[in-house]
């Protein structure tokens, strides 16, 4: 499957229909501020995302990343047991390269083992990380303009949430309430209120046939629900209050318990519609209707396992990452791939572990098994 198959003619009318608005400007390189410009033009939309920053400092695979909600900064989580904070405005010109190298401004240390998941709260004041050690850690995010050579600040680690008995694979933070979801290899999803006296609010365990939860997200369009994905290839929508399964999303299971190739590696909730998007080991991306539980669309999206997904804040584009070394950008209305980026090298049959959109600035990022994170503008 080469990217030539995904050419897409776009005219101004179709841009209007798609309601792209300021998102059409996402691919414009705006060096100084990187804020959206107004208006919609054909040229702006047809410009492609280009690699701009290379983040090298981790010693092992980058498993997860989270952009700061407002600033041009991001946090990466790695198998090297650390998380790092990067300020994209503090760059070093690469040797004979169009890329800019970025040095981390802060390294978060505390996990005993690989860090597998991270997310930030909507203010960007705190970030959360989950690891192989079964803990969820809450960090106060230092100012992204700090001196990287300052002394280590012990107050940065504000809290350790203990409750899981095995690796924490996924985290999600609520957009409106100070609540955090975590899913673990111990078979449970947990809901936390990190600031309160008794932070563990609820624990959700699925029937054994579902397998182990591999990814979790709040349902954005209905804040009282969450969606969890499992190694069996199935997904379920839960009521956060009652812990009951509201809807089991249809799966393509022919085999009882599911085959490993069917497992869901990542699940994301659409920001404005009752739709769940799931990345599968069998190279598919599947779109589910949360109301009926049915698959609305399934497509072979990559040449290898699809590992990661992100939807832009307006709900118009989907990013997917895969062990085939590519990041693909999809128009959600047409389900067409509008750009393919070869971003990372393979290491032990793994390549891209995570992708993300900046919530307010025109940046996308990917992290991979090659220990690098890359940012595109």
**Mean pLDDT score of the chain:** 82
Find the CATH number of the domain harbouring 296: 2.130.10.10
Does residue 46 sit within a domain?
no
- Rounded to the nearest angstrom, the gap between the alpha carbon of residue 232 and the centroid of all alpha carbons in its chain is 21
76 is written with which tokens?
């990466």
Does residue 365 sit within a domain?
yes
Does residue 27 sit within a domain?
no
Residue 44 has pLDDT above 50, yes or no: no
Does residue 1 sit within a domain?
no
- The model's confidence at residue 150, banded by pLDDT at 50, 70 and 90, is confident
pLDDT higher at 163 or 1: 163
Judged by average pLDDT, the poorest of 118-127, 147-156, 354-363 is 147-156
Contact (Cβ atoms closer than 8 angstroms) between residue 337 and residue 328 = yes
Q: What is the pLDDT of residue 95?
A: 54
Q: What is the pLDDT of residue 97?
A: 55
pLDDT, tens digit (0-9, with 9 covering 90-100), for 231-285: 999 999 999 999 999 999 987 654 444 444 589 999 999 999 999 999 999 889 9
Contact (Cβ atoms closer than 8 angstroms) between residue 46 and residue 355 = no
Does residue 351 sit within a domain?
yes
Residue 159 has pLDDT above 50, yes or no: yes
Q: List strand residue ranges (DSSP E) for 39-197, in order.
A: 51-56, 62-67, 73-78, 82-93, 100-109, 115-120, 126-131, 136-140, 157-161, 168-173, 180-184, 188-192
Mean pLDDT of 51-79: 92
Q: What is the pLDDT of residue 7?
A: 33
Q: How many CB atoms lie within 10 A of CB 30?
A: 13
Given CA atoms 193, 231, 84, 161 in this order, what sign does their dihedral have?
positive
Does residue 12 sit within a domain?
no
Q: What is the pLDDT of residue 252?
A: 62
Range of the domain at 122: 51-254+261-376
Percent with pLDDT over 90 in the chain:
52
Contact (Cβ atoms closer than 8 angstroms) between residue 252 and residue 233 = yes
Does residue 6 sit within a domain?
no
Does residue 184 sit within a domain?
yes
How many domains would you assign to the chain? 1
pLDDT, tens digit (0-9, with 9 covering 90-100), for 331-355: 998 899 998 888 777 778 777 999 9
């Amino acid at each position: 499957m080469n990217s030539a198959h995904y050419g897409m003619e776009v005219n101004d009318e179709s841009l209007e229909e798609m309601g792209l608005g300021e998102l059409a400007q996402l691919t414009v390189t705006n060096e100084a501020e990187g804020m959206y410009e107004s208006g919609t033009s054909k040229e702006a939309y047809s410009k492609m995302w280009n690699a701009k920053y290379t983040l090298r400092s981790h010693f092992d695979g980058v498993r997860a990343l989270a952009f700061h909600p407002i600033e041009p900064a991001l946090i990466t989580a790695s198998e090297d047991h650390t998380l790092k904070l990067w300020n994209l405005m503090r760059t070093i010109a690469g040797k004979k390269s169009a890329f800019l190298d970025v040095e981390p401004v802060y390294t978060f240390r505390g996990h005993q083992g690989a860090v597998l998941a991270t997310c930030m709260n909507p203010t960007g004041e705190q970030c959360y990380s989950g690891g192989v050690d079964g803990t969820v850690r809450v960090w106060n995010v230092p100012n992204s303009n700090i001196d990287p050579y300052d002394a280590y600040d012990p107050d940065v680690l504000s809290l350790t949430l203990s409750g899981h008995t095995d690796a924490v694979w996924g985290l999600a933070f609520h957009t409106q309430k100070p609540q955090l979801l975590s899913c673990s290899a111990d078979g449970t999803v947990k809901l936390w209120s990190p600031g309160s006296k008794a932070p563990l609010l609820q624990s959700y365990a699925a029937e054994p046939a579902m397998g182990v939860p591999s990814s979790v997200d709040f349902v954005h369009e209905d804040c009282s629900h969450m969606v969890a994905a499992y190694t069996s290839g199935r997904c379920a929508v839960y009521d956060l209050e009652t812990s009951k399964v509201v809807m089991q999303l249809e799966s393509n299971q022919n085999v009882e318990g599911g085959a490993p190739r069917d497992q869901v590696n990542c699940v994301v909730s659409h920001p404005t519609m009752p739709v769940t998007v799931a990345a599968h080991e069998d190279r598919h991306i599947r779109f589910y209707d949360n109301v009926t539980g049915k698959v609305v669309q399934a497509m072979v999206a990559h040449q290898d396992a699809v590992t990661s997904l992100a939807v832009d804040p307006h709900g118009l584009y989907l990013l997917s990452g895969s062990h085939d070394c590519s990041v693909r950008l999809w128009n959600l209305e047409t389900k067409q791939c509008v750009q393919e980026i070869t971003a990372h090298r393979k290491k032990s049959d793994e390549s891209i572990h995570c992708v993300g959109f900046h919530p307010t600035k025109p940046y996308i990022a990917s992290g991979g098994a090659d220990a690098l994170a890359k940012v595109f503008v």
